[in-house]
Structure 1
Amino acid sequence: MIKLLWKEPDSVADVQALVQGAIDIEFSTLPPYLYASLTILPDTNAPAKSRLQSVILQEMIHMCLACNIMNAIGGTVVITPPHYPGSLPHDVGGSLIVHLYPFSEAAMAQGMAIEAPLEPIDPRILRATPGDKQVTIGEYYERLKAALAALPDSAWTPDRNQIDDAQFFQGQIFAVNTCADACDAIDQIVSEGEGTPKTPKNQGSPLDFQNMLAHYYRFWEMQRNQVLEKDISAEQNDSGYKWGGPLGVDWSAAYPAIADPETYDFSAESEAVQIAQAKCNAAYSAMVRALSAAFGGAVGQLGVAVRAMFDLRMAAIQALNTPLANGKVAGPAFLYEPIIAAQTLVLGDAA
């Protein structure tokens, strides 16, 4: 379980900083989850692939909702590309270092560590003491709800740079114009990541508000290679769930991809390898810039970001099918390049 350091806000600017923390956390989960998904061999591991893709799509939605909250309270959205391996953003407590792992048990265990609820249905994890300033992601969001509720009405600006489902993820993203909207967005983010939390009146559930398994439990299914299902037996356990039949995971059906390509020295590799990596970096950098512009209110930039996501996928496929000298392959490093470097790359390609 990861924990974040919480600092009680004293101003609107402090609350904006906390929302920025949420944006950074949501964005930083995407490259590890994408790397695991991209490295599954085509036409294999369909159950795992579908679970990973659903988690990735929801993390994108969570990031959009967090950005909508920031814009609603007058802040400026900043998209800060993380590095891997590295800690998650904003003073993550504990010793968790996040890696770009190919599809593997290690990648699934890491997903569980990132998404872990305060008290999963099984096994149980002890609750943090009331005075503990380190909080789980779910606790962070709950405290953020309280901080947002304490803001004056004057802090909220309706219809400011909002992304809604007319632009992206139809039926799943909504504008945040009020504190109630922000609380709904946070409830969705927490529910989809952790499930229904345990309370004195609720035994908790691995299901989110849409009655689907939350991210933590989807990773757990893949890690165990078993389906988590409702326990309807007469001797039902306290959680109400049990491990069923095999999910059908084949760990061998994955590209022989290296971990953490950002740390790999590509300078001695073939031109084909270097070109493939350059295309990955260019597409990722273009996506980050377009997202930054879109959340700043620039018209049409969300479409540019979506096209860059497609370009990144195509570049990743090329990279994963271009062998390294050691016989392995490297997926995208998710390495952000400043605009000058990106322009140089385009000119070089044109030549």
Structure 2
Amino acid sequence: MYHKLQKRPIETLEQLHHDLQLAIELEFSTLPVYLTALYSIKEGTNQCAYTVIRSVVMEEMFHLTNAANLLIATGGSPAINSPEFLPTFPTRLPDGETWFEADLQKFSPAALRNFLKIEMPADLAKAGDITIGEFYVGIEKGLETLHNRYGPALFPADCHDKQIAHKYYYGGGGEITPITDLNSANFALNAIVAQGEGVPEKHWNPEQPFPLGETTGIDSGDHQLFMQPRELSHYYRFNELLLGYRYVQGNTPDSGPTGPAIPIDYRQVYPVLKNPQPENYQSFEAIARLDTEFNLTLSLLLDQLHLAFNGQPDILVAAVGTMFGLKEKAQSMMRVPLPDGSGHHAAPTWRYIPIDKRPGAC
């Protein structure tokens, strides 16, 4: 990621756009982490875990879209198709330099513990740590500061129709709503925080800044925000998998899950190489070719997302097909053992290939 976390209040439109671009990069940077674990699960096994991780991935795309729409709504333009958009793994979130290290690795307890760090509720974090929720609270405060200065002009009317509409999003909780004023902006940000960390246990107004000072519960808030079925926040979905039991009625963050056991078999997972780098495949031409094919598909996906968020939303339809292609190429690669006797299997390196460096480029 090329936008760094700046520990300062947002006082200018430029600073707001910087942090919203970082938010887009941050949301997408979770996808290689989650998808590497997801795709390492052998086909037809660990269905509960597969379904949970996939649901979170879909909602991370919802978060990315909300962040991008907010950037568009305030006159900015998302930048997605560049080598710097993706971090090199292992990376330190949220900006490549601070916080904790995130890894590409197979589905395992270690991977789930990494997931929990990403989705950590503010009230469970260590003193001094900045959670994703707190990062978004900084954006909420900045929006309030700038709205006090500019009023409704902070959300130009000619930017309303440039946003991605809900019809282009499917497959997870949440609903994309147009951002036209401060209340709708806060609503969009609260949906991101609530799905990840959980909603406050006390009553809260979704159009007001998320009250991180209050203890968060285990629900995602989709039933309150969007009148959708009640479900767990990302943190507690992953905690179920790690502990191996379901949360049931009456469970709290303190009680932990006391419901039925979740069947998980970590043996039914491809032992993929952790944090693979291109140099790992230099001696293995066939595997290097598979990695290049994956990265070309990934690059196409980022190109499509960039165009979609910059005035061509219909391209998102094609991007869905590209994402399915990404899955197929990743799983084909993960079935291949490395010929070095290590016992590891290959895994994608998740690199963007610029257009001028792709096969056939002039």
TM-score (norm: length of structure 1):
0.86
Please state how far the C-alpha of 1:71 moved relative to its aligned partner. Answer: 0.2
Q: Which AA in structure 2 matches 1:111?
A: F
CA distance in 1, matches of 2:215, 2:130: 21
**Aligned partner of 1:278 among 280, 284, 292:** 292
Q: Is the 8 A contact 2:33 2:105 kept in 1?
A: yes
**Aligned partner of 1:117 among 115, 118, 121:** 121
1:261 is paired with a residue whose SS is coil
The equivalent of 2:306 in structure 1 is 292
Q: Is the 8 A contact 1:115 1:193 kept in 2?
A: yes
**Aligned partner of 2:231 among 197, 212, 227:** 212
Q: Is the 8 A contact 1:285 1:338 kept in 2?
A: yes
Matched, 1:188 2:188: no
Q: Which AA in structure 1 matches 2:332?
A: Q
Please state how far the C-alpha of 1:24 moved relative to its aligned partner. Answer: 1.4
Residues 1:343 and 1:161: Cα distance change in structure 2 (over 3 Å):
farther
Residues 1:188 and 1:343: Cα distance change in structure 2 (over 3 Å):
same
1:76-91 paired onto structure 2 within 5 Å? 76-79=77-80, 80-90=85-95
1:48-101: CA deviation from partner (whole Å, max 9, x where unpaired):
11110111000011001100000000112122122111112436533x111101
Q: Which AA in structure 1 matches 2:267?
A: S
1:1-351 paired onto structure 2 within 5 Å? 5-79=6-80, 80-90=85-95, 93-94=98-99, 96-120=100-124, 125=125, 135-151=130-146, 152=150, 153-158=152-157, 159-169=160-170, 172-197=175-200, 204-210=216-222, 211-231=230-250, 239=254, 242-262=257-277, 264-271=279-286, 273-325=287-339, 326=341, 327-344=343-360
CA distance in 2, matches of 1:91, 1:248: 35
Residues 1:238 and 1:163: Cα distance change in structure 2 (over 3 Å):
closer
Residues 1:244 and 1:162: Cα distance change in structure 2 (over 3 Å):
same
Residues 1:344 and 1:329: Cα distance change in structure 2 (over 3 Å):
farther
1:191-244: CA deviation from partner (whole Å, max 9, x where unpaired):
100002367996531111123111111111111222222347xxxx88465433
CA distance in 1, matches of 2:10, 2:351: 32
Please state how far the C-alpha of 1:116 moved relative to its aligned partner. Answer: 0.4
CA distance in 2, matches of 1:238, 1:64: 29
Please state how far the C-alpha of 1:304 moved relative to its aligned partner. Answer: 3.0
2:259 is paired with a residue whose SS is strand
Q: Which AA in structure 2 matches 1:34?
A: L
CA distance in 2, matches of 1:92, 1:5: 11
The equivalent of 1:131 in structure 2 is none
Q: Is the 8 A contact 2:305 2:315 kept in 1?
A: yes
Residues 1:262 and 1:91: Cα distance change in structure 2 (over 3 Å):
closer
Q: Is the 8 A contact 2:120 2:197 kept in 1?
A: yes
Residues 1:166 and 1:204: Cα distance change in structure 2 (over 3 Å):
closer
Please state how far the C-alpha of 1:127 moved relative to its aligned partner. Answer: 5.7
In structure 2, stretches of 5+ residues that fail to align are 203-210, 223-229
Instruction: State which drifts further: 139-148 or 246-255.
Output: 139-148
TM-score (norm: length of structure 2):
0.83
CA distance in 2, matches of 1:216, 1:13: 32
